[in-house]
Amino acid sequence: MSQVVSGPGGNARPDLPLAVVVGAGGMAMAVARRLGPGHRLLIADRDGEHLARQVARLDEEGHDAAGLRCDLTSAEDIAALAERAAAAGPVKVLANVVGLSVAAGDFDLIMRVNLIGAARVAEAFLPVFAPGGCGVFVSSSSAHMSPVAPELWPLLDAPTAPDFLDRLHAALGDKAEVNLAYPLSKAALNRMCLRLAAPWGRKGLRILSMSPGLIATPMGAEAYKHSAGKRKLFDAVPVGREATMLEVADLVAFLVSDRASYLSGTDILMDGGLIAALRFPEA
> If you write DSSP's letter for every residue of 120-139 in order, what string do you get?
HHHHHHTTTEEEEEEEEEE-
Length of the chain: 283
Closest CA to 13 of 37, 34, 33, 43: 37
Closest CA to 153 of 117, 205, 96, 194: 194
pLDDT at 282: 78
Q: Which residues pair with 18 in a beta bridge?
A: 40, 91
Q: Is residue 6 over pLDDT 70?
A: no
The structure's pTM equals 0.93
Instruction: For residue range 239-262, list pLDDT tens digits in order.
Output: 999 999 999 999 999 999 999 999
Amino acid at 274: L
Q: How many Cβ atoms sit within 10 Å of the Cβ of residue 146?
A: 10
The number of angstroms, rounded, from the C-alpha of 210 to the middle of its chain's C-alpha atoms is: 8
Amino acid at 211: S
The number of angstroms, rounded, from the C-alpha of 39 to the middle of its chain's C-alpha atoms is: 18
At 2, the pLDDT band (50, 70, 90 cuts) reads: very low
Q: How many Cβ atoms sit within 10 Å of the Cβ of residue 267?
A: 21
